[in-house]
Amino acid sequence: MNRSSNPAFRDELFCDSECNGTGTPMTIRGTIDKTLFLLFIVVASAAVAWTSLPHSVPLILGAVVGAFVVGFLTSFRTALSPFTAPVFAILEGIFLGAFSGWMNTLWPGIVVQAVALTFCVFFLILLIFRARLIRVTEKFKLIVMGALGAIALLTIANIVLTFFGMPLTFINEGGWPGVAFSLVVVFIASLCLVLDFDYIEKSVEYGLPRRNEWYASFTLIVTLVWMYLEILRLLVKLRESVPGSGS
């Protein structure tokens, strides 16, 4: 059975469809429509947070915690995704708007660059996937999952070491080692998109219920938000690494 890099996708979903064989099946078009709808919610709520509630640390932290709770609930109660996915999109938009407004104050113009690069990477990966230039084999999935595990372990280690005054500087600070690390993370995020596209395609092939269009859209939003944040961090490191490029 196929697996995705996104923990929200689980084989039990396929079991539901194969064992019961009931309900209207999901479609690619339906998934695209719902993804665009969730993106609209993210952008709209981000615009409100950017203009009305900029630089608000409590807002950023509250939105992050709320998005994590709702995202966790959506991942393990997929039947709730038609209701929780829009709520998640609102919370993510609030976080992105407030955080991006703060970053744009520090680094003018950097948010527009990050958004443009995020969607360029998204459509490039989509074209590569549709052209079958990358084969999603079990080995490919294991490599991506292993890379994700390594990134997670490095992030956790950095958090722990920071408490002892010994952070892994290349993760968050500028300099070419930091730039190289961020490039690797962005590359892994793009590979996660490949796995998500493949899993959505398989979901349609197996005839999952239509409600999973919301679930599939939710997972794409999760990956896109992660990619945007990593590209934003990469651009910050690049500006810090090039003399005279800061604000």
81-106 and 110-130 helices cross at what angle (nearest 10)? 130
Two tokens, residue 168: 């892994």
Question: Does 9 have pLDDT greater than 50?
Answer: no
HSE-CB for 178 with a 13 A CA cutoff: 22
Question: Does 160 have pLDDT greater than 80?
Answer: yes
Show me where the domains of the chain are located: 11-241
- Tell me the pLDDT tens digit for each residue of 94-151: 999 999 988 998 899 999 999 999 999 999 999 999 998 988 889 999 999 999 999 9
Query: Which pLDDT belongs to residue 55?
Result: 66
Question: CA angle, 229 as apex, 103 and 4 as ends, to 5°?
Answer: 170
Q: What is the mean pLDDT of residues 195-220?
A: 90
Say which residue, 153 or 245, is predicted with more confidence: 153
* φ, ψ of residue 90 in degrees (nearest 5): -65, -50
Q: What is the C-alpha separation between 187 and 169, in angstroms, rounded? A: 20
- Tell me the pLDDT tens digit for each residue of 224-243: 999 999 999 999 998 887 65
Question: Does 16 have pLDDT greater than 70?
Answer: no
Beta bridge partners of 209: 25
Say which residue, 93 or 240, is predicted with more confidence: 93
Question: Does 57 have pLDDT greater than 90?
Answer: no
pLDDT band of 29, cuts 50, 70, 90: very high
Q: What is the mean pLDDT of residues 74-82?
A: 89
